């Protein structure tokens, strides 16, 4: 008996290998006819696993997202024999069904066909969980922006899943669908879910907390975490986005999935066509004219939707939950928002629950964290809208007997500037600015000379902790000043010598030959500018090299000298290039009259190269030393 079974298995194995090869070829060629005869002779092969992963032919074909005709024929064949529900319920070794495959790859066409062919689409699509507890809907949500499946499913929300009386958790929006939508970066869908189905999706307070926490941990959903530069923020502020249209309570379609085969395969096309034609004319024009501007516009739309989503969640938390549970929800969210510096979430929490904000800040140490992490925007916001800062200012650490100024002095956060030019020096300046701010505006005057248990004042603690940073900043300043002064000294030498060897020479009475020439006058003026600017630059860099490098010097003195030195060096270099070009123009104007324009173009190259290399450092120095203080009032809507 065992020998007979072994013989049958040996005969079956070659057949399985040949079938698998034929199946792969038929699926990738989208050719049903090549397998139709085999399926007629062996009907069970239509639903049996074909590999060690227990994938069925339907799973394999759906997962390619390209074999739509093959899937259509296979589904039609199974439906004719009444096996479609069985095929759709088959699972692989991970518990995934064919709908999980379609949701993973974003196969809207075959997903539509499979759901419309089933007699129980709701249970199949939204209640069948794999081994990880994820339904096809959740799988679609977790794929993020790469997958339009969730967006398509939401457009069919009320059709696919009519509310089941008394069992809200079995509906499409039951459970924590909001979380996957946010993680998948479908903020628009998350907003629609909250607005249209808040009674179901927000029926549990924990869903609100999880959604708020996910938003707080993703500052990219908000303008404060966009990372746009000056011009990016300028374009952002000019682009029109109407909040009333974005957050409108849009009604989803009530059209059912078509049963007609031709209509089934046009459903996805109609869906995307409606999305395209519904876009505003402004957005369509931008899409073709300026892709970067279009990206900023899309970013602004997402930010607007995220702001509205946070507002809705906070309002529902206050309305649906007890005060104690609101404290838990907002406390957790506030902690994450401070950690990731998500200002919009902090604002909305304060607006929704101003009566308990001080308690939330106290329990979660939000103000402390903002100071320790050097998050000046969060610090500015909390400083202006809460009296809790007074409690922080007067509090002492029981173990070390340290006040807030000493805590700030001994905290050395991650160095934000070390990967940029002037890292250590600018970081030292940044640390001094923080220390001065807390010393001047937060702690009591008596705390400035308060001793901790080691007998050290805040200033002593600051000097000890920042000793290595001070050394690194000093080394960078010396290296930068040394190299720059060498270049400035060369320009001084050249400019001084050029003043006595003017082009064309001098007449017998000592006057230059080309004294009345306009280009010669340009040469004289630019040479003088080059000489005076380079001398100024040398003096500034010399002042840096001979500096005492005390801590206070990094606040204003050294950055000011470096800024003046770099500006003077840039002017001297530009003037020297102009003087050289003017000299060539004077000498060659009789032979080559068109020489002026090419010389001007060529002269711009070295000046431009210097600007590209040194301009970022110069801007950073000017902004951190002479620009507006990082500690200022927030120009935000809630403060007006």
What pLDDT, in 10s, does the model give residues 568-592?
A: 999 998 888 888 877 777 776 666 5
DSSP track, 280-335: -HHHHHHHHH-HHHHHHHHHHHHHHHHHHHHHHHHHHHHHHS-HHHHHHHHHHHHH
As a whole-number percent, the residues of the chain with pLDDT over 90 amount to 8
Mean pLDDT of all residues belonging to the chain: 75
The answer to whether residues 82 and 40 touch, using CB atoms and an 8 Å cutoff, is no
- Give the span between the Cα atoms of 225 and 423, in whole angstroms: 22
CB atoms under 10 Å from CB of 446, counted, come to: 8
Per-residue pLDDT, 605: 79
- What does the pLDDT average to over 260-285? 48
Higher pLDDT, 390 or 370: 370
Q: Locate 15 and state its tokens.
A: 């057949």
As a whole-number percent, the residues of the chain with pLDDT over 70 amount to 70
- Best CA proximity match to 191, nearest among 211, 217, 205, 162: 211
Q: Locate 289 and state its tokens.
A: 């004219």
Per-residue pLDDT, 320: 82
Confidence band of 539 (pLDDT split at 50, 70, 90): very high
What pLDDT, in 10s, does the model give residues 131-168?
A: 887 777 777 766 655 556 666 666 554 444 444 444 44
Per-residue pLDDT, 145: 52
- Give the span between the Cα atoms of 606 and 80, in whole angstroms: 77
- Give the span between the Cα atoms of 290 and 238, in whole angstroms: 15
| Dihedral (CA of 326, 327, 329, 335) sign | positive
Q: Where are the beta strands (DSSP E) in 398-505?
A: none
DSSP track, 486-497: HHHHHHHHHHHH
Distance of CA 479 to the CA centre of its chain: 35
- Give the span between the Cα atoms of 226 and 630, in whole angstroms: 18
DSSP track, 496-526: HHHHHS-TT-B-TTS-BTTTT-HHHHHHHHH
CB atoms under 10 Å from CB of 579, counted, come to: 25
pLDDT at 409 over 80: yes
Higher pLDDT, 592 or 271: 592
Higher pLDDT, 63 or 597: 63
Could you give the dihedral angle defined by the CA atoms of residues 246, 301, 242 and 287, in that order, rounded to the nearest 10 degrees?
A: -110
The answer to whether residues 549 and 474 touch, using CB atoms and an 8 Å cutoff, is yes
- Best CA proximity match to 62, nearest among 136, 131, 120, 121: 136
pLDDT at 596 over 80: no
Helix (H, G, I), strand (E, B) or coil at 147: coil
What pLDDT, in 10s, does the model give residues 295-309?
A: 888 888 888 899 999
Q: Locate 569 and state its tokens.
A: 């060096």
pLDDT at 37 over 70: yes
The answer to whether residues 495 and 579 touch, using CB atoms and an 8 Å cutoff, is yes
Which range among 7-11, 139-143, 412-416 shows the weakest confidence by mean pLDDT? 7-11
What pLDDT, in 10s, does the model give residues 477-525?
A: 999 999 999 999 999 998 888 877 776 666 656 566 666 666 778 888 8
Distance of CA 342 to the CA centre of its chain: 12
- Per mean pLDDT, which of 67-81, 174-188, 500-514 is the most reliable? 67-81
The answer to whether residues 575 and 530 touch, using CB atoms and an 8 Å cutoff, is yes
- Give the span between the Cα atoms of 355 and 364, in whole angstroms: 16
pLDDT at 529 over 80: yes
- Best CA proximity match to 168, nearest among 126, 119, 132, 112: 126
């Amino acid at each position: 008996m065992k020998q007979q079974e072994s013989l049958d298995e040996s005969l079956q194995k070659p057949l399985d290998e040949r079938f698998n090869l034929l199946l792969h070829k038929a699926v990738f060629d989208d050719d049903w006819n090549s397998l139709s005869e085999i399926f007629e002779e062996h009907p069970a092969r239509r639903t049996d696993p074909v590999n060690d992963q227990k994938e069925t032919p339907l799973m394999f074909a759906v997962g390619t997202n390209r074999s739509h005709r093959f899937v259509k024929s296979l589904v039609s064949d199974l439906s004719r024999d009444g096996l479609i529900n069985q095929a759709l319920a088959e699972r692989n070794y991970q518990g995934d069904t064919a709908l999980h495959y379609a949701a993973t790859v974003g196969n809207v066409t075959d997903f539509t066909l499979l759901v419309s062919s089933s007699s129980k689409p709701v249970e199949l699509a939204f209640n069948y969980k794999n081994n990880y507890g994820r339904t096809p809907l959740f799988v679609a949500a977790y794929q993020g922006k790469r997958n339009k499946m969730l967006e398509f499913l939401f457009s069919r929300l009320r059709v696919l899943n009519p509310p089941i009386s008394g069992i809200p958790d079995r509906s499409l929006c039951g459970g924590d669908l909001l979380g996957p939508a946010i993680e998948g970066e479908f903020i628009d869908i998350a907003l629609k879910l909250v607005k249209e189905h808040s009674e179901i999706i927000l029926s549990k307070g924990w869903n609100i907390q999880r959604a708020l926490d996910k938003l707080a941990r993703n500052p990219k959903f908000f303008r404060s975490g966009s990372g746009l530069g000056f011009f990016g923020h300028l374009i952002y502020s000019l682009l029109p986005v109407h909040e009333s249209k974005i957050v409108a309570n849009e009604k989803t379609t009530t059209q059912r999935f078509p049963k007609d085969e031709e209509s089934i395969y046009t459903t996805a096309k109609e869906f995307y066509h409606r999305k395209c034609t519904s876009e505003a004319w402004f957005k369509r024009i931008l899409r073709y004219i300026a892709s970067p501007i279009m990206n900023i516009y899309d970013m602004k739309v997402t930010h607007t939707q995220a702001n509205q989503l946070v507002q809705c969640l906070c309002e529902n938390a206050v309305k649906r939950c007890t005060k104690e549970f609101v404290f838990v929800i907002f406390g957790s969210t506030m902690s994450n928002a401070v950690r990731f510096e998500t200002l919009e979430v902090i604002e909305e929490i304060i607006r929704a629950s101003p009566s308990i904000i001080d308690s939330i800040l106290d329990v979660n140490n939000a103000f402390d964290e903002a100071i320790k992490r050097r998050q000046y925007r969060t610090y500015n916001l909390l400083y202006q809208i809460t009296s809790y800062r007074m409690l922080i200012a007067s509090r002492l650490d029981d173990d070390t007997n340290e006040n807030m100024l000493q805590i700030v002095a001994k905290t050395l956060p991650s160095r934000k500037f070390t990967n940029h030019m002037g890292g250590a020096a600018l970081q030292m300046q940044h640390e001094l600015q923080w220390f001065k701010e807390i010393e001047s505006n937060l702690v009591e005057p008596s705390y400035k000379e308060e001793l901790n248990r080691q007998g050290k004042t805040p200033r002593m603690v600051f000097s000890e902790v920042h000793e290595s940073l001070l050394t690194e900043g000093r080394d960078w300043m010396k290296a930068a000043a040394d190299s720059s002064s060498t270049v400035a000294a060369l320009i001084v030498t050249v400019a001084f010598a050029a003043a006595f060897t003017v082009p064309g020479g001098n007449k017998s009475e000592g006057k230059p030959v080309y004294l009345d020439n306009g280009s010669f006058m340009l040469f004289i003026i630019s040479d003088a500018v080059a000489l005076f600017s380079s001398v100024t630059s040398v003096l500034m860099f010399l002042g840096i090299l001979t500096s005492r490098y005390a801590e206070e010097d990094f606040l204003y003195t050294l950055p000011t000298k470096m800024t003046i030195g770099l500006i003077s060096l840039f002017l001297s270099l530009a003037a020297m290039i102009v003087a050289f070009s003017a000299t060539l123009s004077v000498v060659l104007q009789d032979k080559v009259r068109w020489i002026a324009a090419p010389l001007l173009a060529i002269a711009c190259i070295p000046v431009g190269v210097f600007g590209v290399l040194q301009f970022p450092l110069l801007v950073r120095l000017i902004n951190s030393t002479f620009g507006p203080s990082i500690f200022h009032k927030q120009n935000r809507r809630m403060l007006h």
